[in-house]
Amino acid sequence: MEPLSVVERTEVVIVGAGPTGLTAAVRLAALGVPHVVLDSALEPTRTSNAALVHAATIELLAALGLGEELVRAGRRVHRIGMVDRGRPLVRVGLTGLPSRYPFALGVPQSTTEQLLLHRLAELGGSVRRGHRVTSVRTEGTRHVVAGTVEPDGGAAGFAVSARYVIGADGAHSTIRSATGVGFPGETYPSQFVLADVALSTAAGPDDEATINLSPEGVTVLGRLPGPNHRIIATVGPTATVPEAPDRQFVDALLAQRGIAARSTAEPVWSSRFRVHHRVADRFRVDGVFLAGDAAHVHSPAAGQGMNTGIADAYDVATRLGAVLTGHADEPVLDGYERQRRAAALEVLAFTDRLTKLAMLENPLARLGRRVAAGTVLRFPWPLQRRITMWVSGLGRSPLRQDLPATGEPSLRVGP
C-alpha cells in the first residue's frame, strides 16, 4: 500500500452505507454537519432483505423528508394475523396506533436505501464506494479511520481524521473489532427459509402479515409491492434445504403446513439462513459509536433489525449534530448508549421469546402456544395495544424520547 502523506479531516466519519449509515448521513447532512461516508461495497443492496418498515421508522424517515415517497413505494399492512393450520386465532390491528402512520409498510430494503441515497444527494452528500476500512486509531481528541480503495486492487490507501466515528458496518463490524467491544450471544438451532414469490390468492388478505403456526414450523406471509409475497419460515435444524429454495420447495413447504396458497412463478429471490442474537457490550468507546447490525443482531421475528438500526442512526446523528452545531454539550452523547442499548436489549428479549415460540417442537408446548394466542384474543385491551406499540417501535422511538435541540422546529409525531 502507498504511504499516506495527507490525512483528510472532517467532523464525522460514517463507516457503512446500509440503512443505518445512510440514515445517519442524511440526518447529519440535514443539520449541516461535515461528514464522510465510506463503504467497501461497489453498489448498494439490490435485494429486498428487510421488507417490513414499522410506524416508528416511517415517522423517522418522514422527519428526514422521505415519508411520502416511502409510503407511495410500499404496501400498507394494517393487521397482523395468527392462524393455526388454516384456523384463525388472533388478529391484531395496527390502525389504532398513535401515529400519523398507523400501519406498517411492505417495502424492499433496496427501495428504502435508494430513497435514502436520493435524499442524501439532494442534501449534497454522497457515499465513497469501494472504500474498505481496516483500522481506526485515536490521535488526541480525534480518530483516524484508514483502509484501502478496492477498485484499485487494494493498492491505494486512504485515511480520514474525524472528531467522531459511527460504525454502521454491519454484523461483522471492523469498527467494533478495532475498538475491542465484545459481541456476546448465540445462534439459534433452527434454519430459516426466505422466498419472495408470487402466490395464488389463497395467501390471505393483502393488507395483513399472517403468522401461520403448524407442527412443522412457523411460516410468515406478507405482501410486497408488486406481485410478490415475502415468505419467512422456520425449518428444523437438520432438514435439507437448498441454498436458494425453488418453487417446488416453497409449494411443498406451504402444503405440508396446511397453507392453501401456491406459487404462480419461480421465486424472484430466495435463501436459507441461520439466525444469531447478539448485543455489543458497549455502543460507544470515546468518540466511536456503534449502530445498527454492528451493535445488535436478532431474529427476523417481527422484522425489527433494520428498523432498530435506523432508530440508532437517527439518535446518534441528532446528538452529534447538536454538539457539533453548538446546540448541546458533550454529555448529551452519553444518552446514546443508555437509550439505544436498552432498546436493543428489549428488541432482543422479545424477538428471542417469539423465535423460541416459533421453534417449539413438543406437542404440549405447541398446545400452550395456541392457548396463549387465544388469550390475546379474549383480552384485546390493553394486551393488544402493548403488542402493537412494541411491534411498531413507537414506544422506544428516539422521536418520543429526549433528544437534544438542534435549532430545528419541533416535530409533530402524533396522529
74 binds ligand FAD, rule: CB under 6 A: no
The residue from 50, 117, 195, 354 that contacts ligand FAD (CB under 6 A) is 50
Which residue matches cell numbers 408470487? 198
Q: Say which DSSP state 363 is in.
A: H
107 binds ligand FAD, rule: CB under 6 A: no
Nearest to ligand FAD of 99, 328 (CB atom): 99
**What is the amino acid identity at position 78?**
H
Residues sharing a CB contact under 8 Å with residue 167, sequence separation 6 or more, in sequence order:
15, 16, 173, 174, 175, 176, 179, 288, 289, 290, 291, 294, 295
Nearest to ligand FAD of 229, 328 (CB atom): 229
Q: What beta strand segments (E) does 71-141 contain? A: 75-77, 79-84, 87-93, 104-106, 128-129, 131-139
What whole-number distance in Å separates Cα of residue 127 and Cα of residue 113? 12
What whole-number distance in Å separates Cα of residue 413 and Cα of residue 415? 7
Number of residues engaging ligand FAD in binding (CB under 6 A): 33
Nearest to ligand FAD of 232, 360 (CB atom): 232
Nearest to ligand FAD of 305, 321 (CB atom): 305
212 binds ligand FAD, rule: CB under 6 A: no
190 binds ligand FAD, rule: CB under 6 A: no
Main-chain phi, psi angles of 229, to 5 degrees: -100, 155
Using the contact rule CB under 6 A, the part of the chain among 43-51, 176-184, 326-334, 347-355 near ligand FAD is: 43-51
The residue from 81, 108, 292, 398 that contacts ligand FAD (CB under 6 A) is 292
Residues within window 9-28 making contact with ligand FAD, judged by CB under 6 A: 15-21
For strands 208-213 and 79-84, give the pairing: parallel
Residues within window 158-187 making contact with ligand FAD, judged by CB under 6 A: 168-170, 174
Q: Is 396 helix (H, G, I), strand (E, B) or coil?
A: helix
What whole-number distance in Å separates Cα of residue 311 and Cα of residue 231? 25
305 binds ligand FAD, rule: CB under 6 A: yes
The residue from 212, 219, 304, 397 that contacts ligand FAD (CB under 6 A) is 304
306 binds ligand FAD, rule: CB under 6 A: yes
Cα R_g (the chain), whole angstroms: 22
Residues sharing a CB contact under 8 Å with residue 216, sequence separation 6 or more, in sequence order:
235, 253, 256, 257
40 binds ligand FAD, rule: CB under 6 A: yes
Q: State which H helix or E strand residue 296 sits in.
A: strand 296-297
38 binds ligand FAD, rule: CB under 6 A: yes
- What's the grid cell of residue 34? 461535515
108 binds ligand FAD, rule: CB under 6 A: no
Using the contact rule CB under 6 A, the part of the chain among 34-42, 85-93, 155-163, 389-397 near ligand FAD is: 34-42
- What's the grid cell of residue 69? 415517497
What is the closest distance, in whole angstroms, from the C-beta atom of residue 168 to ligand FAD in the complex?
A: 5
What is the closest distance, in whole angstroms, from the C-beta atom of residue 232 to ligand FAD in the complex?
A: 7
- What's the grid cell of residue 365? 408446548
From residue 308 to residue 347, the character string flagging contacts with ligand FAD as x (rule: CB under 6 A) and all else as - is -x--------------------------------------
What is the closest distance, in whole angstroms, from the C-beta atom of residue 333 to ligand FAD in the complex?
A: 20
| Among the listed residues 132, 110, 138, 131, the one whose alpha carbon sits nearest the alpha carbon of residue 22 | 110
Residues sharing a CB contact under 8 Å with residue 202, sequence separation 6 or more, in sequence order:
259, 260, 261, 262
- What's the grid cell of residue 204? 390471505
The residue from 194, 231, 301, 357 that contacts ligand FAD (CB under 6 A) is 194
Nearest to ligand FAD of 51, 328 (CB atom): 51
What whole-number distance in Å separates Cα of residue 292 and Cα of residue 169? 8
The residue from 303, 321, 335, 393 that contacts ligand FAD (CB under 6 A) is 303
Nearest to ligand FAD of 21, 245 (CB atom): 21
- What's the grid cell of residue 285? 468507546
Q: Which residues bind ligand FAD (CB under 6 A)?
A: 15-21, 38-41, 49-52, 109, 132-133, 168-170, 174, 194, 271, 292-293, 300, 303-307, 309
